[in-house]
């Protein structure tokens, strides 16, 4: 008010009267003038929800057809490129199945969040497709998978043990993302999405950099994000072994050429196991038993760790952060820490009430973090257990969990080659041996 | 080497689990959609909570930001010659209408003389970067006719709206998609 | 399609159509294969160089874009500084006594003009560059994408062509060691578990956890015990007794309305007419006397000693004096207590059995009517420009203390609290987001319940007397806030100069800024010291020598008050009091101005001087304290003497 009065005085007599009243009155024009109406900017059409869902179903159906029926790598490649262009660059990566996990978790949570049907569709449809056709979503539709797939030029084989160890991370990330979204703290998956910045051709510099590094890695380590980070991939990895149809290596006519195993950039093809039984059955049994017994202990240990980490993690929440800043400013009256606390003090809200609210949130975080810890313990325990279980395979098979249905193995397989060209398998193999200098 | 009976048993188990998983996935999703039958939502700025900090310009995943300045010329603008949203804040004895006094960093405000001491101001949304400089000037010293809104023809609708997460006054929240804008029609909340 | 590039004519046997690159490449003859590899590698090298350079440039532009504000460019600010200097030179020249030669003037004007032109030119250029950069960034993004695609295709082709032919034939089963692989995998899992535990452990011990203030989880308000009968010396006190007496600043409820009773309007200090008694005031103070039955209490202080005095209300005989505290140096500092406020500005309050006094030292003391100390509190010394001055208020055996002592709203030192008058126990304490103020709290008996209302800068807020819970608040006051609010008929009236005078509804809840204002004015007559007096029909706002009467329901109509009387020679500091239908206002010279509530006071000329048409009575000495009215008498605290006006 004071400022306004001063201003008006400085600006000259004409304005003083009006400014004292608080605002400058709307003028009355004698020249023809139409006051522009306040019109809300347009909204994107709701049709996009339908178009996106239809595109998703179409891409996955065509993908399933190409992978399972046509067994065509070239077709899959075209589809991958189209998916990348549509879901990635055209739709800018938003509404994606990976992120939808968080929306689902949040809508279950206490924040009263309503799940839009299109997000629900993006969450559920790939799951359902996976239960029928394996991970065709990962291999053909997902834009994040697609961008990694098209840059995969020189696949390096990751040792089995490393694959197993790093393969735990997606499950832990899934747990963290679900807990964070459930509590309404953050959408971690979206925040740390490495490729969405490329789709939007802009983004926070650190994420663009991280995305660039990851993409460069994908040139050599096929689909690094899918295998070692993606939380949706973790879910699909569990569901895919239940699927009705999935990628199969021609089991009847297999010529044991090993080409598929070498051709798979994701280490998803398992070679046959020796028929001879294990020499040390007693030891195997002990380890198996020990890993079953260790499970509850692991769960308890990690739950405790999670509980202890809860207060720190609660710092993700705005109210907790604000309460901390406010408390600091209360202790030191001269401290100024930015707009957040300024706005808080201006609003006249009670710091005590904020502190109580923050403590409630912190309590919820502690519980959430404990649940997350227990989940991590369970994942480690289960993984230890499965590492101790041996399965017998008589021929080359695509691992149901890790295979992303990219159809590369079809391309290397001489049997598939023969099927496509109508030539004799043995002839092709012999030819290949000659050119490779193998006798 | 597994025998045929084993295979059948495993297949049976897989089928059972598959059907279970299918029912679970569709059941949970269906239940959640049904539970949240409340309207779908989009992000929006509450102009009455906005403190014009300028973070909308730098924190949106889009560049330029999807946040744009809106102008209620119809109800709130005073058509001032010396517009506090258009010219830089009054600074000692220096206040003129020359180019050096203009505030908008991207020339997104178009000024047109109407009559006498009165000018019309129009926001060129294609240029506007949502920096809130003009909104701040108009809110503190003027008629409060300028305000920020997320332009839903541009917003990509991120799950985690970056400007919402960075808003110091928590002015950005989800609003029903049927009413995606909070237009400022009066100086105080109606 | 990378596969296309290797469909060579030389490769006769290569299967057509869906020829797998993996198989096909194995058939390409050596030299042709090398040539194609060179071509692909060359394209890849060019493409990667292109992408790299473009990426670096884009990142640079991106960073610049994020960092630089085109309007604050160094080029512009430099010119701006020069313009400022040139403007100053022109101004100095214009202000100079002697007019400089015309040529010199012209040169200075021209210099300024050319600088302005330079600025405009630079501004235009910078903006042009800005948009150019924006365009380049968008375009560059797409270029980079195109480059990346070319790079992808060429690199893929190169890799394919350089690929070693795969090893063929069945695996050597004797070399497969499943047990060893399982053991490796288990160790990997163990390693992963250790890493996970370490990460969680790090999070536990990370120093970034913001400590939250400790808050009691149980926030239920302490049950209030209604002690009508306290320790030894207490006697039953009814509300009616409290209302008839003068128990605090501006009387019962603190709204400046005395119990309706006929009082004298005719006295004369110098001649002693109708002066019942007159007693010297021991130590100075601007607080008003309070009266309960036959005793009068007030405080005094010279900065070093703080005392409470008890007088016989009927005779003026001093009964006791209680020294509350003594210091070597004046508290607050002499420099900050100005003469107007003094060291004993706060009026006492009584519940009938106990009297409470507060001083700017932060001392709050409760005495029984014999002067024995019952309890004592020490609050922070107000960090403000005049010293704490808010008067005390008693309601329902509770002492309400408005402690608006924060320098900024951030520290939340300000609060309002209720103490049990018997024990001094804190019943409730509610923080107030306000800075320093000197206003006193009032009690408003609104249709929706009793409220304690306290005005502050910037909020005025109402509190539930039982729990202290905030009922409503309104933000809108600034400056040095000394007037206390008025209340009548469900509306609270508050005003202070530089802000607004307004009527606020009391039946709403929460932040009522948008909803509760019935009327509002920001005219020049808003009070700076004197409290607002509200009656059923009128609101009186007093500033300097000016009394303005406004319509209580509508405020000023067309900016016109009901009446406005400004006697420039006099000054009011004491607050107006309504007794029956008469308003009493005491000016600083000790002259009481009296007028009927519905009487229009105007100016007349008497001996060439402006005087108001109100009735007047003279005390004969300066007087700042608000008068007290009890038992049909008027008690006035002059600068030197305490007077009782009445008849025997």
Return the residue of B nearest to C113 by Cα: B98
At C212 the pLDDT is 66
Write the CA distances from B182 to A113, B41, B151, B173, C48, integer angstroms.
20, 13, 11, 11, 47
A273 φ, ψ (degrees, to nearest 5): -95, 150
Q: Do B162 and A204 touch (CB under 8 A)?
A: yes
Q: Could you tell me if C203 lies within 8 Å of chain A, comparing CB atoms?
A: yes
Nearest to C23 among A315, A417, A437 (CB): A417
Q: Do A204 and B21 touch (CB under 8 A)?
A: no
Query: Considering just the CA atoms, what is the radius of gyration of chain B in Å?
Result: 26
Q: Do A202 and B63 touch (CB under 8 A)?
A: yes
Assembly ipTM: 0.83
Query: Considering just the CA atoms, what is the radius of gyration of chain C in Å?
Result: 42
Contacts of B103 in chain C (CB under 8 A): 71
DSSP 3-state assignment of B145? coil
Distance separating alpha carbons of residues C93 and C99, to the nearest angstrom: 8
At A15 the pLDDT is 40
pLDDT more than 70, % of chain B: 88
Q: Is the distance from CB of A88 to CB of A141 less than 8 angstroms?
A: no
Q: In this predicted model, what pLDDT tens digit does every residue of C582-620 receive, in sequence order?
A: 999 999 999 999 999 988 998 888 887 888 888 999 988
At A1 the pLDDT is 42
C21 pLDDT above the threshold of 50: no
Confidence of residue B100 (pLDDT cuts 50, 70, 90): low
Give the closest-approach CA distance of C336 to chain A in angstroms.
21
Please identify among residues 244-303 of chain A the ones whose CB lies closer than 8 Å to any CB of chain B: 244, 275
Q: Is the distance from CB of A308 to CB of C204 less than 8 angstroms?
A: yes
Q: In this predicted model, what pLDDT tens digit does every residue of C127-159 receive, in sequence order?
A: 778 778 878 888 888 888 889 888 888 888 888
Confidence of residue A130 (pLDDT cuts 50, 70, 90): very high
Nearest to A400 by CA among A246, A175, A266: A246
Q: What is the mean pLDDT of residues A59-86?
A: 94
Q: Do C200 and A323 touch (CB under 8 A)?
A: no
C394 pLDDT above the threshold of 90: yes
At C14 the pLDDT is 34
Contacts of A22 in chain C (CB under 8 A): 522
- Rounded (10°) CA dihedral A277, A282, A287, A293: 130
CA quadruple C272, C276, C277, C281: dihedral sign: negative
Q: Which tokens is A120 given?
A: 């629900």
Distant-in-sequence, close-in-space partners of B3: CB < 8 Å, separation ≥ 6: none
Distance separating alpha carbons of residues A370 and B141, to the nearest angstrom: 51
Confidence of residue A193 (pLDDT cuts 50, 70, 90): very high
Distance separating alpha carbons of residues C424 and C379, to the nearest angstrom: 13
Return the residue of C nearest to B187 by Cα: C514
Contacts of C120 in chain B (CB under 8 A): 98-100
A6 pLDDT above the threshold of 60: no
DSSP 3-state assignment of C90? helix
Q: Do B25 and A124 touch (CB under 8 A)?
A: yes
Please identify among residues 273-292 of chain A the ones whose CB lies closer than 8 Å to any CB of chain C: 273-274, 278-280, 284, 287
pLDDT more than 90, % of chain A: 36
What is the average pLDDT value for chain C, to the nearest integer?
82
Nearest to A44 by CA among B5, B42, B63, C492: B42
Which H/E stretch holds residue A259? Answer: helix A259-263
Confidence of residue C310 (pLDDT cuts 50, 70, 90): very high
Q: In this predicted model, what pLDDT tens digit does every residue of C398-441 receive, in sequence order?
A: 999 999 887 776 666 789 999 988 888 888 999 898 888 899 99
Contacts of B177 in chain A (CB under 8 A): 43, 46
Q: Could you tell me if C62 lies within 8 Å of chain A, comparing CB atoms?
A: yes
CA quadruple A165, A167, A171, A173: dihedral sign: positive
Q: Could you tell me if B124 lies within 8 Å of chain C, comparing CB atoms?
A: no
Q: Which tokens is B180 given?
A: 């995606």
C12 pLDDT above the threshold of 80: no
DSSP per-residue string spanning C314-362: TT--EEEEEEEEE-SS-SS-TTTS-TTT-S--S--EE-SSEEEEE-TTS
Q: What is the mean pLDDT of residues C19-27?
A: 41
Q: Could you tell me if B157 lies within 8 Å of chain C, comparing CB atoms?
A: no
Q: Is the distance from CB of A437 to CB of C169 less than 8 angstroms?
A: no
pLDDT: which is higher, A344 or C258: C258
C545 pLDDT above the threshold of 50: yes
Q: Could you tell me if B120 lies within 8 Å of chain A, comparing CB atoms?
A: yes
Q: Could you tell me if A30 lies within 8 Å of chain C, comparing CB atoms?
A: no
Nearest to B105 among C70, C513, C514 (CB): C70
Give the closest-approach CA distance of A151 to chain B in angstroms.
24
Distance of CA C81 to the CA centre of its chain: 36
Q: In this predicted model, what pLDDT tens digit does every residue of A357-367 receive, in sequence order?
A: 888 889 999 99
Q: Strand ranges (DSSP E) for A336-411?
A: 397-398
C228 pLDDT above the threshold of 70: no
Q: Do C120 and B98 touch (CB under 8 A)?
A: yes
DSSP per-residue string spanning A52-87: HHHHHHHHHHHHHIIIIII--HHHHHHHHHHHIIII
Q: Could you tell me if C130 lies within 8 Å of chain B, comparing CB atoms?
A: yes
Nearest to C398 by CA among C455, C460, C467: C467
Q: Which tokens is C479 given?
A: 């400056």
Which H/E stretch holds residue A291? Answer: helix A281-313
Q: In this predicted model, what pLDDT tens digit does every residue of B113-160 receive, in sequence order?
A: 888 888 999 999 988 989 999 999 888 888 889 999 999 988 888 887
Q: Which tokens is C401 given?
A: 């203390």
Q: Do A203 and B61 touch (CB under 8 A)?
A: yes
C22 φ, ψ (degrees, to nearest 5): -60, -45
Please identify among residues 314-373 of chain A the ones whose CB lies closer than 8 Å to any CB of chain C: 315, 320-321, 323-325, 327-330, 333, 335, 341, 345-352, 355-356, 358-359, 362, 373
Contacts of C185 in chain A (CB under 8 A): 160-161, 164-165, 387
Burial of B171 (0-12, 13-18, 19+ CB in 10 A): buried
Distance separating alpha carbons of residues C620 and C642, to the nearest angstrom: 12
At C170 the pLDDT is 66
For strands C354-358 and C641-645, give the pairing.
unpaired
- Bridge partners (DSSP) of residue B172 are B45
Specify the DSSP class assigned to residue C174: G
C348 pLDDT above the threshold of 90: yes
Q: Could you tell me if C137 lies within 8 Å of chain B, comparing CB atoms?
A: yes
Contacts of C64 in chain A (CB under 8 A): none
Return the residue of C nearest to A70 by Cα: C18
Which H/E stretch holds residue B83? Answer: none
Give the closest-approach CA distance of B46 to chain A in angstroms.
14
Task: Provide the 10 A C-beta neighbour count for residue C69.
Answer: 12
Confidence of residue B89 (pLDDT cuts 50, 70, 90): low
Across the A:B interface, residue pairs with CB atoms under 8 Å apart total 176
CA quadruple C52, C55, C59, C61: dihedral sign: positive
Q: What is the mean pLDDT of residues C261-265?
A: 83
Distance separating alpha carbons of residues A82 and A76, to the nearest angstrom: 10
Distance separating alpha carbons of residues C114 and A222, to the nearest angstrom: 64
A241 pLDDT above the threshold of 70: yes
Minimum mean pLDDT range among C100-104, C285-289, C560-564: C100-104
pLDDT more than 70, % of chain C: 85
Nearest to A128 among B26, B40, B72 (CB): B26
DSSP 3-state assignment of C112? helix
At C416 the pLDDT is 93
Q: What is the mean pLDDT of residues C332-339?
A: 66
Confidence of residue C211 (pLDDT cuts 50, 70, 90): low
Counting other chains too, the contacts that A342-346 makes at CB distance below 8 Å and 24 or more residues apart are A342/B51, A342/B168, A343/B51, A343/B168, A343/B169, A345/C408, A345/C409, A345/C410, A345/C433, A346/C409
Task: Provide the 10 A C-beta neighbour count for residue C324.
Answer: 21
Task: Provide the 10 A C-beta neighbour count for residue C376.
Answer: 13
Minimum mean pLDDT range among B41-55, C63-77, C214-228, C288-302: C214-228
Task: Provide the 10 A C-beta neighbour count for residue B120.
Answer: 18
Minimum mean pLDDT range among A385-399, C58-72, C195-209: C58-72
What is the average pLDDT value for chain B, to the nearest integer?
83
Nearest to C275 by CA among C634, C603, C638, C632: C634
Distance separating alpha carbons of residues B37 and B14, to the nearest angstrom: 34
Distance separating alpha carbons of residues B87 and B96, to the nearest angstrom: 8
Please identify among residues 354-373 of chain C the ones whose CB lies closer than 8 Å to any CB of chain A: none
Q: Could you tell me if B188 lies within 8 Å of chain C, comparing CB atoms?
A: yes
Distant-in-sequence, close-in-space partners of C588: CB < 8 Å, separation ≥ 6: C570, C571, C572, C573, C574, C622, C623, C624
For strands C257-258 and C577-579, give the pairing.
parallel
- Bridge partners (DSSP) of residue C277 are C644
Confidence of residue C3 (pLDDT cuts 50, 70, 90): very low
Query: Considering just the CA atoms, what is the radius of gyration of chain A in Å?
Result: 29
Write the CA distances from C109 to A420, C98, C102, C116, integer angstroms.
88, 17, 11, 11
Peptide bond into A99 cis (omega under 30): no
Token look-up 């973790």 returns: A234
B68 pLDDT above the threshold of 50: yes
C64 pLDDT above the threshold of 80: no
Burial of A98 (0-12, 13-18, 19+ CB in 10 A): buried
Q: What is the mean pLDDT of residues B166-175?
A: 88
Distance separating alpha carbons of residues C87 and B98, to the nearest angstrom: 14
Q: Could you tell me if A401 lies within 8 Å of chain B, comparing CB atoms?
A: no
C16 pLDDT above the threshold of 60: no
For strands C470-475 and C510-511, give the pairing.
parallel
Across the A:C interface, residue pairs with CB atoms under 8 Å apart total 243
Chains that touch B (3 or more CB pairs under 8 A): A, C
pLDDT: which is higher, B162 or A16: B162
Q: What is the mean pLDDT of residues A249-260?
A: 78
Give the closest-approach CA distance of A103 to chain C in angstroms.
25
At C530 the pLDDT is 93
Distance separating alpha carbons of residues B133 and C325, to the nearest angstrom: 55
At C160 the pLDDT is 79
Distance of CA C152 to the CA centre of its chain: 60
Nearest to B101 by CA among A404, C116, C202: C116
Token look-up 């490129």 returns: A81
Return the residue of C nearest to A74 by Cα: C18
CA quadruple C143, C144, C146, C147: dihedral sign: positive
Find the DSSP H helices in C163-253: 178-205, 239-244
- Which one of C5, C7, C20, C202 would you mutate to disrupt binding with A, by most A Cβ within 10 Å of its Cβ? C20
Task: Provide the 10 A C-beta neighbour count for residue C633.
Answer: 21
What is the average pLDDT value for chain A, to the nearest integer?
85
Q: Strand ranges (DSSP E) for C349-480?
A: 349-350, 354-358, 363-368, 373-378, 393-395, 398-403, 415-420, 426-431, 442-446, 449-455, 459-463, 470-475
């Amino acid at each position: 008010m004071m400022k306004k009065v001063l201003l008006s005085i400085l600006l000259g007599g004409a304005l003083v009267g009006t400014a004292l009243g608080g605002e400058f009155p709307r003028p009355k024009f004698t020249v023809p003038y139409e006051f522009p109406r306040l019109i809300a900017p347009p909204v994107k059409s709701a049709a996009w929800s339908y178009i996106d869902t239809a595109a998703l179903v179409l891409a996955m159906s065509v993908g399933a057809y190409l992978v399972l029926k046509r067994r065509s790598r070239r077709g899959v490649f075209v589809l991958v490129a189209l998916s990348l262009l549509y879901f990635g660059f055209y739709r800018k990566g938003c509404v994606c199945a990976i992120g939808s996990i968080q929306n689902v978790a949040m809508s279950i949570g206490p924040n009263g969040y309503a799940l839009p049907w299109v997000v629900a569709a993006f969450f559920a449809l790939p799951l359902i497709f996976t239960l029928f056709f394996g991970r065709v979503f990962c291999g053909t539709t997902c834009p994040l998978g697609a961008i990694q797939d098209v840059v995969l030029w020189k696949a390096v084989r990751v040792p089995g043990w490393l694959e197993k160890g790093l393969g735990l991370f997606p499950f832990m990330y899934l747990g963290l993302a679900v807990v964070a979204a459930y509590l309404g703290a953050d959408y971690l998956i979206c925040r740390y999405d490495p490729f969405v910045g490329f789709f939007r051709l802009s983004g926070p510099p650190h994420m663009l950099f991280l995305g660039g590094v990851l993409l460069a890695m994908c040139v050599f380590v096929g689909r690094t994000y899918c295998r070692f980070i993606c939380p949706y991939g973790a879910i699909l990895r569990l569901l895919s072994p239940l699927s009705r149809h999935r990628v199969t290596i021609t089991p009847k006519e297999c010529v044991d050429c090993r080409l598929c195993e070498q051709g798979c950039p994701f280490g998803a093809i398992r070679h046959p196991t020796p028929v001879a039984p294990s020499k040390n059955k007693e030891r195997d049994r002990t380890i198996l038993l020990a890993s079953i017994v260790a499970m509850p202990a692991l769960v308890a240990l990690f739950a405790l760790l999670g509980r202890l980490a809860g207060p720190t993690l609660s710092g993700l929440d705005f109210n907790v952060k604000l309460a901390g800043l406010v408390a600091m400013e209360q202790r030191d009256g001269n401290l100024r820490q930015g707009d957040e606390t300024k706005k808080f003090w201006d609003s006249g809200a009670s710091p005590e009430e904020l502190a109580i609210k923050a403590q409630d949130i912190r309590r919820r975080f502690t519980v959430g973090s404990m649940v997350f810890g227990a989940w991590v313990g369970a994942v480690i325990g289960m993984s230890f257990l499965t590492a101790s279980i041996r399965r017998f395979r008589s021929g080359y098979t695509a691992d149901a969990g890790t295979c992303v249905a990219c159809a590369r193995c079809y391309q290397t397989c001489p049997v598939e080659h023969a099927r496509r060209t109508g030539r004799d398998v043995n002839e092709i193999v012999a030819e290949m041996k000659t050119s490779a200098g193998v006798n | 080497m597994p025998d045929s009976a084993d295979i059948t048993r495993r297949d049976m188990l897989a089928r059972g689990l598959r059907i279970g998983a299918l029912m679970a996935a569709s059941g949970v999703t269906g239940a959640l959609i049904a539970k949240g039958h409340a309207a779908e939502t989009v992000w929006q700025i509450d102009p009455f909570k906005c403190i014009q900090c300028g973070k909308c310009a730098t924190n949106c995943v889009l560049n330029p930001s999807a946040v744009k300045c809106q102008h209620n010329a119809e109800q709130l603008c005073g058509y001032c010659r010396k517009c506090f949203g258009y010219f830089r804040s009054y600074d000692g004895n220096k206040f003129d209408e020359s180019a050096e006094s203009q505030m908008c960093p991207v020339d997104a405000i178009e000024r047109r003389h109407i009559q006498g001491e009165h000018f019309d101001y129009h926001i060129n949304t294609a240029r506007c970067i949502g920096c809130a400089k003009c909104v701040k000037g108009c809110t503190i010293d003027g008629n409060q006719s300028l305000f920020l809104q997320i332009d839903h023809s541009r917003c990509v609708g991120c799950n985690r709206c970056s400007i919402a997460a960075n808003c110091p006054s928590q002015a950005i929240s989800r609003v029903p998609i049927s009413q995606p804008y909070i237009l400022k029609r009066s100086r105080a909340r109606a | 399609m990378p596969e296309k590039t290797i469909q060579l004519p030389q490769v006769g046997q290569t299967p057509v159509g869906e020829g797998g690159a993996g198989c096909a490449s194995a058939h390409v003859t050596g030299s042709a294969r090398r040539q194609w590899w060179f071509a692909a590698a060359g394209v890849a090298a060019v493409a990667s160089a292109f992408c790299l350079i473009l990426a670096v440039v884009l990142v640079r532009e991106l960073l610049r874009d994020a960092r630089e504000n085109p309007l604050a460019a160094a080029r512009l600010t430099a010119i701006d500084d020069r313009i400022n200097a040139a403007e100053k030179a022109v101004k100095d020249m214009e202000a100079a006594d002697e007019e400089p030669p015309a040529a010199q003037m012209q040169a200075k004007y021209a210099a300024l003009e050319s600088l302005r032109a330079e600025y405009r030119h630079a501004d235009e250029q910078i903006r042009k560059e800005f948009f150019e950069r924006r365009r380049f960034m968008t375009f560059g993004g797409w270029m980079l994408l195109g480059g990346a695609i070319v790079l992808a295709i060429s690199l893929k082709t190169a890799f394919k062509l350089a690929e070693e032919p795969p090893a063929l034939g069945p695996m050597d089963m004797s070399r497969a060691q499943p047990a060893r692989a399982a053991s490796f995998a288990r160790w990997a899992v163990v390693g992963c578990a250790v890493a996970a535990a370490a990460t969680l452990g790090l999070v536990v011990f990370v120093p970034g956890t913001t400590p939250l203030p400790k808050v009691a989880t149980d926030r239920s308000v302490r049950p209030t015990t209604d002690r009508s009968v306290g320790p030894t010396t207490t006697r039953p006190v009814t509300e009616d007794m409290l209302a008839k007496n003068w128990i605090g600043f501006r009387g019962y409820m603190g709204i400046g309305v005395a119990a309706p009773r006929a009082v004298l309007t005719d006295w004369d200090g110098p001649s002693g007419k109708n002066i019942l008694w007159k007693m010297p005031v021991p130590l100075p103070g601007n607080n008003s006397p309070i009266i309960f039955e036959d005793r009068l209490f007030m405080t005094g202080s010279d900065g070093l000693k703080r005392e409470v005095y008890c007088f016989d209300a009927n005779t003026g005989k001093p009964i006791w004096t209680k020294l509350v505290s003594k210091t070597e140096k004046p508290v607050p500092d002499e420099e900050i207590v100005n003469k107007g406020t003094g060291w004993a500005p706060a009026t006492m309050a009584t519940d009938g059995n106990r009297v409470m006094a507060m001083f700017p030292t932060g001392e709050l003391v409760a005495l029984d009517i014999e002067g024995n100390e019952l309890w004592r509190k020490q609050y922070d010394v107000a960090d403000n420009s005049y010293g704490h001055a808010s008067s005390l208020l008693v309601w329902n055996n509770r002492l309400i203390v408005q402690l608006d002592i924060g320098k900024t709203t951030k520290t939340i030192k300000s609060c309002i609290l209720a103490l049990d008058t018997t024990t001094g126990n804190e019943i409730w304490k509610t923080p107030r987001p306000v800075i320093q103020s000197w206003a006193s709290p009032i009690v408003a008996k609104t249709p929706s319940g009793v409220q304690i209302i306290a005005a502050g800068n910037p909020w005025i807020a109402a509190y539930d007397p039982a729990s202290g819970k905030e009922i409503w608040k309104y933000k809108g006051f600034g400056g040095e806030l000394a007037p206390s609010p008025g209340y009548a008929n469900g509306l609270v009236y508050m005003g202070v100069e530089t802000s607004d005078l307004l009527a606020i509804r009391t039946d709403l809840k929460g932040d009522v800024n948008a909803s509760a204002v019935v009327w509002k004015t920001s005219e020049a007559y808003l009070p700076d010291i004197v409290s607002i007096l509200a009656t059923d029909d009128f609101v009186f706002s007093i500033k300097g020598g000016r009394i303005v009467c406004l319509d209580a329901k509508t405020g000023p109509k067309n900016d016109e008050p009901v009446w406005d009387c400004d006697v420039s020679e006099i000054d009011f500091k004491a607050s107006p009091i309504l007794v029956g239908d008469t308003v009493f206002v005491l000016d600083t010279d000790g002259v009481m101005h009296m007028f009927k509530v519905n009487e229009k006071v105007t100016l007349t000329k008497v001996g060439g001087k402006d005087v108001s048409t109100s009735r007047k009575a003279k005390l004969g000495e300066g007087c700042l304290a608000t008068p007290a009215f009890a038992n049909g008498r008027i008690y006035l605290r002059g600068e030197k003497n305490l007077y009782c006006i009445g008849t025997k």
